[in-house]
Amino acid sequence: MTRLDVVTIGNALVDVLSYEDDDFVARVGVERGATTMVDATRSEEIYREMGPATEVSGGSAANTAAGVASFGGSAAFVGRVADDAFGKIFAHDLRSAGVTFESPFSGNDLPTGRCLVIVTPDAQRTMCTYLGTASALDAQYIAPDIVGNALVTYLEGYLWDQPEAKAAIRKAAELAHRGGQRVALTLSDPFCVERHRGEFTELIDGNVDILFANEQEILSLYQVDSFDEALAHVRGACEVAALTRGSRGSVIVAGDDVQVIEAHPTQVVDTTGAGDLYAAGFLYGFTQQRPLEMCGRLASLAAAEVISHLGARPETSLRELASRVLAT
Amino acid sequence: MTRLDVVTIGNALVDVLSYEDDDFVARVGVERGATTMVDATRSEEIYREMGPATEVSGGSAANTAAGVASFGGSAAFVGRVADDAFGKIFAHDLRSAGVTFESPFSGNDLPTGRCLVIVTPDAQRTMCTYLGTASALDAQYIAPDIVGNALVTYLEGYLWDQPEAKAAIRKAAELAHRGGQRVALTLSDPFCVERHRGEFTELIDGNVDILFANEQEILSLYQVDSFDEALAHVRGACEVAALTRGSRGSVIVAGDDVQVIEAHPTQVVDTTGAGDLYAAGFLYGFTQQRPLEMCGRLASLAAAEVISHLGARPETSLRELASRVLAT
């Protein structure tokens, strides 16, 4: 196995996206802007209510891997899909994006997971995830020749919603640190932080080197009211924290080094994947040993590309975009 | 069954779209800009070579039905899908667009058909169609309560590629004419015209009331070199012919009435569905008994909407768009 820049571990999902009006979210009864976990029956019910949809591969951590590959970095993804149409679409899209994906098809009769993405006129997305076989991620699928070989092992917070995945997460973090590599975590969603605050705080304290969170998530994690308080907390907890603030850009903290990065201007169509691609740009820069400020600019550029169209993966080569826009 | 404006009959397909460079089309060895029929194995081979893709419901005649419904017309589609993931996506997308779709799932072990759509940097599309169970369209599925109840029965030329469908086509045309309704035909593709010129000419002469064709197709049909010659031929053959000329707009001929319609200006992203939506706009206007010039303007507007984004069905309400842009 050759050396990898980044391996990401998360729920393998195909996104089913449709444009809906604001009433739709209220009618379906889910939390606007957040991710709600649903079972197979509820997923079918909501799908029946949705308008004509577009299917594209998604899954937060998988989107990040695709982003790293689009920059020209070497990336792998670990997660589970079934041997069905959605599973084949997921595997195809990831591999053809240049991402190493070797997790075997699961054989547990659960279908490939799907995420119903409701895009409202304000370009905000509301997500309803049915995990399906994505939940079958246990420790045996954390291949040491993949995780041990990556400069950064990136975990999505959504994994904590599956009790079985916890052993896999621990194994991945141990393998990474044993090889002297970095562990990165994204908090994923404010409600996810609500559900797992204790475990996240414990993990971050000593086991996470690079933390990604948006403003709501980091305020919720430390149960504080101001961004500055959250910043003070996170500064001591991990080597680097990259905190995103939507259109107000992001702040990167590494000990005494604080970089304030502007959002890259764009026409927003669909915010799905903004955080995932921010992480991709950051991690690509980080593994190329670029200064933190450039990591932040690459992150903002990737996020801007993905929110300018429907779907959570880049539609243009981020490598070419970066060389044109940032002259990297 | 309530009265319908339009019923369309054609191959039920899910489109698998990816952006590729020009070399890709040459490498795969298919005709650029055209539709090539492929078998399951070849379809898999080409898919493996394609980059990350987006899945959206397609099928030429089904796109037209979705377009009519988007204008607020009543539309139905007749075509076959299997009880698999793509079949469910196809049925969902059509019904949620407001189109009546009552064809039962086929049970012949063939999967739902798919069309690999290769979009090149010039926004041109090259299509590779694996019909799968779409080919199982025989006469028993032409329900008299649907076809006999529609003001226009619209047939796609691609149907002639399936020998079994011919009885279905004949039955549909007979049912329509017996009820005093119109039969419409689209020639679909220049290569399709090459394959079925004799049958098309025979059918058009006396059995087709409304003909849709682009310039290449109508020149090929009559084996003439100039658009004016083709126009002279078609003028006597059917009640109305709507001939499209890409960015040069279209010409509508109905006996001595000749309307020259400009293309509606837009930013072209992907030409997939341009002809299908042109037909939708025209047929909506026609069934609303609008003058031919307005039918043409509705047609151009619908075509412009669909080529401004990826995928072959409207992403905005054509009814609202028409009332805003054309003040209809």
- Check pLDDT > 80 for residue A66: yes
Min distance A269 CA to chain B CA atoms (Å): 12
Rounded Cα–Cα distance for residues A154 and A6 (Å): 7
Q: Which of A92, A94, A315 sits opposite B19 (nearest CB)?
A: A315
So what's the pLDDT on residue B326? 86
Contact A50 B96 (CB under 8 A): yes
Q: Select the residue from A92, A94, A119, A269 to test the B interface by mutation, using most B Cβ atoms within 10 A.
A: A92
- Check pLDDT > 90 for residue B221: yes
For residue B12, report the phi and psi dihedrals to the nearest 5 degrees: -85, 120
Q: Does B51 touch chain A (CB under 8 A)?
A: yes
- Check pLDDT > 90 for residue A260: yes
So what's the pLDDT on residue A310? 86
Q: Which of B52, B84, B86 sits opposite A97 (nearest CB)?
A: B52
So what's the pLDDT on residue A1? 59
pLDDT confidence tier of residue B1, bands split at 50, 70 and 90:
low
Q: Which of A53, A84, A315 sits opposite B93 (nearest CB)?
A: A53
Q: Does B64 touch chain A (CB under 8 A)?
A: no
The contacts of residue A253 (CB under 8 Å, 6+ apart) are A231, A234, A235, A240, A241, A243
So what's the pLDDT on residue A162? 84
Q: Does B3 touch chain A (CB under 8 A)?
A: no
Which chain A residues contact residue B51 at CB under 8 A? Answer: 96-97
Q: Which of A52, A86, A92 sits opposite B85 (nearest CB)?
A: A86
Mean pLDDT of A309-320: 93
pLDDT confidence tier of residue A250, bands split at 50, 70 and 90:
very high
- Check pLDDT > 90 for residue A206: no
pTM beyond cutoff 0.90: yes
Rounded Cα–Cα distance for residues A14 and A7 (Å): 19
- Check pLDDT > 80 for residue B328: no
- Check pLDDT > 80 for residue B279: yes
Q: Does A84 touch chain B (CB under 8 A)?
A: yes
Which chain B residues contact residue A53 at CB under 8 A? Answer: 89, 92-93, 96
pLDDT digits (tens, 9 = 90+) for B245-264: 999 999 999 999 999 999 99
Rounded Cα–Cα distance for residues A6 and A33 (Å): 28
Q: Does B55 touch chain A (CB under 8 A)?
A: yes
Q: Does B123 touch chain A (CB under 8 A)?
A: no
Contact A96 B52 (CB under 8 A): yes
Burial A43-58, CB ≥16 within 10 A → b, else e = beebbeebebbbbbbb
- What sign does the CA torsion over B38, B44, B45, B46 have? positive
Q: What is the ipTM of this complex?
A: 0.91
Mean pLDDT of A28-46: 94
Mean pLDDT of A200-223: 94
So what's the pLDDT on residue A163? 81
Rounded Cα–Cα distance for residues B129 and B273 (Å): 14
pLDDT confidence tier of residue A205, bands split at 50, 70 and 90:
confident
Match domain A4-11+59-108+137-325 to its CATH number in 3.30.1010.10, 3.40.50.2300, 3.40.50.1460, 3.40.1190.20.
Answer: 3.40.1190.20
Rounded Cα–Cα distance for residues A22 and B169 (Å): 43
Contact A55 B89 (CB under 8 A): yes
Q: Does A85 touch chain B (CB under 8 A)?
A: yes
Contact B97 A51 (CB under 8 A): yes
So what's the pLDDT on residue A327? 78
Contact A53 B311 (CB under 8 A): no
pLDDT confidence tier of residue B148, bands split at 50, 70 and 90:
confident
Q: Does B47 touch chain A (CB under 8 A)?
A: yes
Q: Where are the domains of chain A?
A: 4-11+59-108+137-325
Which chain B residues contact residue A50 at CB under 8 A? Answer: 92, 96
pLDDT digits (tens, 9 = 90+) for B162-212: 888 888 998 999 999 998 999 999 999 999 999 999 999 999 988 999 999
Residue B37 vs residue A327, higher pLDDT: B37
So what's the pLDDT on residue A144? 87
Which chain A residues contact residue B55 at CB under 8 A? Answer: 54-56, 89
Q: Does A51 touch chain B (CB under 8 A)?
A: yes
pLDDT confidence tier of residue B45, bands split at 50, 70 and 90:
very high
pLDDT confidence tier of residue A151, bands split at 50, 70 and 90:
very high
Contact A56 B57 (CB under 8 A): no
Give the DSSP letter of residue A132.
G
CATH superfamily name and code, B4-12+60-110+135-325? Ribokinase (3.40.1190.20)
Contact A19 B315 (CB under 8 A): yes
Mean pLDDT of A177-192: 94
Nearest CA in chain A to B317: A19
pLDDT digits (tens, 9 = 90+) for A86-112: 999 999 999 999 999 998 899 889 999
